[in-house]
Structure 1
Amino acid sequence: MSSQGVQGYNPRTGEAFGEPVPSTSDSQVDAVVSAAARAFPAWAAATDRAAVLTRLADALDAEAELLISTADTETALGVPRLTTELKRTTNQLRLFAEVITEGSYREATIDSPDPDIIPPRPDLRRILQPLGVVAVFSASNFPFAFSVAGGDTASALASGCPVVVKAHSAHPNTSRETARVVSSVLPEGVFGIVYGTQAGRTLVQHPQVKAVGFTGSTGGGRALFDLAQGRPEPIPFYGELGSVNPVVVLPSAAASRSAELATGFAQSLTMGVGQFCTNPGLLFAPESLVDELAKAVGGAGGGAMLTERMRDSYESGVDSLATHSAVRLVATGSGDGGGWSVAPRLHQVSIEDFAADVEKLTEECFGPSGIVVTYTDPAQLLEVLRELEGSLTATVHADPDEHELAGEVLNEIRRFAGRLVFNAWPTGVAVSWAMHHGGPWPATTAPLHTSVGATGIRRWLAPVTYQSWPDALLPPELQDANPLDIPRRHDGTLITP
């Protein structure tokens, strides 16, 4: 970060890109948040939020060429990947437009009065209502889908909450261009953006901010979580943090499709230079699979990481593993050597040595680095799985004759993972109604909730019950005529239009 502001860089060369984006002062943060707070009542009551989100998606698609070009220079993620990611982002906005229209996210619930039960029941009508201004912290590794107009922003806007984004220092120019498009579509004050580390701290502590969404490192997320909880009025902090995403390969699967599994693992491990939150950094497999895994990872290419700091952290992490007495380096892929480039690496450790140092060997090494933990006894594997901490995903590869054993593994991994994958790889998170992207600490700070998918909107809402109010004064979702034609639960029965 420059003394003049937040400087963008080209990771392929390490050279500065664009002029520094000025850091946002504390007084400027206050002005942006205050404007969002003033805009909150009208936005929460707006009946055209779905249409606005659709227009925003269209506007971002219309600016795709400039946005993708800027992001490619600033992140080195590549035009094909960024093209897909921007489309994912706009489709995500359209999904939340559908969520608004469908209406069940409000959880409208009506209990008719009944004076004859104990205690007597008055007319009760419950609904979820938006919290207020939401602070969203952009992610480094997804400059579109988890950043300025990404999932946290889309879901918060859909709920009726204004959003103030803290741009990530890895792509300030991309953030500024995206924010320009967002601001051109949304009503005044409903969206704002701030830049700089200090601005992020100030944002979390601002009394008019009512919730925070964060995607990033465990250390950074924990620091902001503590700020959010230490305020005079503590607020919800929804952080997606670190995850090693363990993968279990059972013996028959390893024997029958070793080359396929090794290739799939290497592709998943090195996708986006390993800079995915669902990167499979920990693989449990029989010894027989190691040679194929080493061949696949050794033949894989690396690339430039998003920032110099991330490159240095990656190299420090793999160097630390290389000096561990129980760990053996079994493969090193290729790297182009320019800018902030790194090479993929695969390490091996026995399950006995892994069990003796679980805490160290499950530290996330952000980038294309993996550890294969070799086992011979599935019973020992089950014991070690019980020691693992929370993770976004956990995966099992099994052949049909191993379904009983796969079920035993499932009983262990469903305790600590938010998404359970069978005979596939965890990288790639669908945006849908059934998706859950979360998990117990340290994967997230709130395992009940998801940062991807339709139910992500639930984070920005809180329940309120209306007791014995006249129909005309109720929100339309609770009025007798159900003018919005949404699903509602009436006297315990779910009624759909």
Structure 2
Amino acid sequence: MSEINEIMQQAKAAFEVYSKTTPAQRAAFLENIAEQIEAKREQLTTKAHVETHLPLPRLNNEITRTTSQLKMFAAYITEGSWVAAAIDNQPSKPDTRKMLIPVGPVVVFGASNFPFAFSTAGGDTASALASGSTVVVKGHSAHAGTSLLVYAAIQEAIRLSGMPEHTLQHVLGPGNTAGKELVMHPFTTGVGFTGSYKGGTALMQYAAAREKPIPVFAEMSSINPVVLLPDTLTQNAAALAKKLAGSVTLGMGQFCTNPGLLLGIKSPALETFLSELGEEVSQVTPLPMLHEGIHTNYQQGLTEMLPYVVYKGEGEPARAIAMVSAKDFLNIPHLREEVFGPFSLLVTCENKAELKKALQSISGQLTATIMGTDKDLAEHRDIISLQTSLAGRVIINEVPTGVEVNSSMVHGGPFPATSDARFTSVGATAIQRWVRPVCFQGFPDALLPEELQNANPRGIWRTVNNEWKNV
């Protein structure tokens, strides 16, 4: 498409200017985007409600999260330590100075299940703009109108902030054509994606096939195992069932952190838990899913699980709980695949050894959860250690749905949860995906970036001859 080529040329030209802006200028720009989105809150939530069927309270909360992310990155780049500035200028040795710099034009794919927080002005976009990279957004067809409204808000912020016209651009069209061309374009330097395993791996293949391969930071698939330890089941079966039922059916199960897998050792308490869970899930009122494609895929996945379903609520989409033995779970591969919707599978284990085998058979995850009393936790340190090896976020006694946006969050994990477990797509450190280190050797002070100059006026933290200083 000639249109894509023109867009990427514009993104490259804008990068040459935008990457030279100061952190203060970019921070003001991010704050302006947040203000423009906030000014259109009612219009945005109304449109998104029509397009996605998501309830207005959820959409309002998501807009707040989106604007908060933008403000968080504004504060983060203003503070300055994220560039990891380092200076080594010892006598009789070369003067070397290092910092992180932006990579170039970045392509961001909007997510179907988060029309704001993981789409046009979401975390991928906010972190890339904070780094100094320009962005091309591939809007999701499930909420194209919402995406265009957010894009209009960003355009106004570009104008008010005096940023290059093409700092952020927007593309619509089929992902298998426009998306492929965006990833394959020689000016693209990185890709952010939240969606299906099929979509994410396709983008990874496109990126790897380029003459110059580029990184794809894709969040793709997770069943988020929850281990139910014996003592807490004995004491808290009904309360655990209620808590997990709410998590399994939250947003009709359309969260990437939905607890799609539960594991426990056989006992009367586990049976009580299953009965209570099935009752709670069955009583949840069904709501429309985000779009027909997700609904169809959920029905197909649920059909494959029907031989194991023990509780199923009336209406569409069906809210369902299935149960299998650990032996079957270990021997039937498709039982370990994600069913994206209001569904969870309980694996019943004969003993702790079988529980460990079941956990060891699971691929990489976004989250892994342990429900246990102090007694449980003391007796199952090996299970906790195993969970840590599986996921990017390990949780004790809380449900996995609900992701805080802060500097300590990890929303990533070993493949296939994400394409690169070293990074997170949520929180301040998401900016690290869009930068690379550069060493400046023998540079006079006047030619160095501000962060590396001897007379640095910003007073940021940096290492000087291997010692952290605020200079």
Same fold by TM-score greater than 0.5: yes
1:91 match = 68
Q: What TM-score results when the alignment is normalised by the length of structure 1?
A: 0.90
- Aligned AA (1:302): P
Q: Distance in 2 between matches of 1:386 and 1:343?
A: 30
SS in 2 for 1:494: strand
Match of 1:38 in 2: 13
| Counterpart Cα distance in 1 of 2:172 and 2:29 | 25
Q: 2:305 aligns with which of 313, 316, 321?
A: 321
Mapped contact 2:90–2:465 kept (Cα < 8 A)? no
Aligned partners of 2:435, 2:98: CA distance in 1, in Å? 12
Cα offset, 1:257, TM superposition: 0.9
**Per-residue deviation, 1:143:** 0.3
Instruction: Find the partner of 1:309 among 250, 268, 293.
Output: 293
Aligned-pair distance for 1:410?
1.2
> Does the 8 Å CA contact 1:270/1:301 hold for their aligned counterparts?
no
SS in 2 for 1:164: strand
State the 1:234 CA deviation. 0.6
1:82 alignment partner in structure 2: 59
Aligned-partner SS, 1:209 = coil
Matched residue type, 1:430:
E
**Hey, what's the Cα distance between the residues in 1 that align with 2:108 and 2:18?**
17
Greater Cα offset, 284-293 or 201-210: 284-293
Describe how 1:33-182 pairs up with structure 2 within 5 A.
33-47=8-22, 48-115=25-92, 121-182=93-154
How far residue 145 of structure 1 moved from its aligned partner, in angstroms, is: 0.2
Q: Is the 8 A contact 2:245 2:281 kept in 1?
A: yes
Which residues in structure 2 correspond to 1:323-472 (within 5 Å)?
323=307, 327=308, 329-335=309-315, 341-357=316-332, 359-472=333-446
- Residue 278 of structure 1: CA displacement? 0.4
Q: Is the 8 A contact 1:270 1:302 kept in 2?
A: no
Contact 1:394 1:419 in 2 (8 A): yes
Structure 2 Cα separation of the partners of residues 150 and 429 of structure 1 = 14
- Looking at structure 2, the residues matched to 240 and 316 of structure 1 have their Cα atoms a distance apart, in angstroms, of 22
* Structure-1 separation of matches of 2:110 and 2:380: 37
Task: Name the stretch that deviates more: 347-356 or 160-169.
Answer: 347-356
Q: Aligned equivalents of 1:446 and 1:437: distance in 2?
A: 11
2:330 maps to a residue whose letter is A
Report percent identity of matched pairs. Answer: 44
Q: Secondary structure at the match of 1:428?
A: coil
Give 1:215's match in structure 2, choosing from 194, 198, 215.
194
Alignment match of 1:290 (pick from 274, 291, 298): 274
The amino acid that maps onto 2:99 is: I
CA distance in 1, matches of 2:451, 2:313: 57
SS in structure 2 at match of 1:257: helix
**1:343 Cα deviation (Å)?**
1.9
Give TM-score, length-normalised by structure 2.
0.95
Letter in 2 for 1:477: E
Give 1 or 2: higher helix fraction.
Answer: 2
Q: Which residue of 2 aligns with 1:23?
A: none
CA distance in 1, matches of 2:121, 2:425: 13
Letter of the structure 2 residue corresponding to residue 249 of structure 1:
L
Summarize deviations over 1:337-393 as a string: whole Å, max 9, x none: xxxx41211101111221222x21111111111101112412221122112100000
* Aligned Cα root-mean-square deviation (Å): 1.1
Partner of 1:242: 221
Q: Which amino acid aligns with 1:405?
A: E
CA displacement, residues 304-323 of structure 1 (integer Å, 9 cap, x when unaligned): 11121211111111111114
Aligned-pair CA distance for 1:455: 0.4
Output one character per residue of 1:28-78: Cα deviation in whole Å (capped at 9) or x when no partner.
122222111111122111120001101110110110000000001100111
Q: Which amino acid aligns with 2:248?
A: L
Q: Deviations over 1:393-440 (max 9, x none)?
A: 000000111122342211111111000010000001100000010001
**Counterpart Cα distance in 1 of 2:390 and 2:7:** 39
Counterparts of 1:254 and 1:376 in 2: how far apart (Å)? Answer: 15
The match for 2:236 among 257, 272, 283 is: 257
For structure 2, list consecutive stretches of 5 or more residues without a partner in the other structure: none
Question: Please, which of 201, 223, 229 is the counterpart of residue 180 of structure 2?
Answer: 201
Deviation at 1:87, TM superposition (A): 0.3
* 2: CA distance, partners of 1:147 / 1:27: 24
Could you tell me whether the CA contact under 8 Å between 1:36 and 1:163 is conserved in 2?
yes
Tell me which residue corresponds to 2:247: 268
Equivalent residue letter for 1:209: T
**Alpha-carbon distance in 1 for matches of 2:286, 2:370:** 26
Retained in 2: the 8 A contact 1:110–1:125? yes
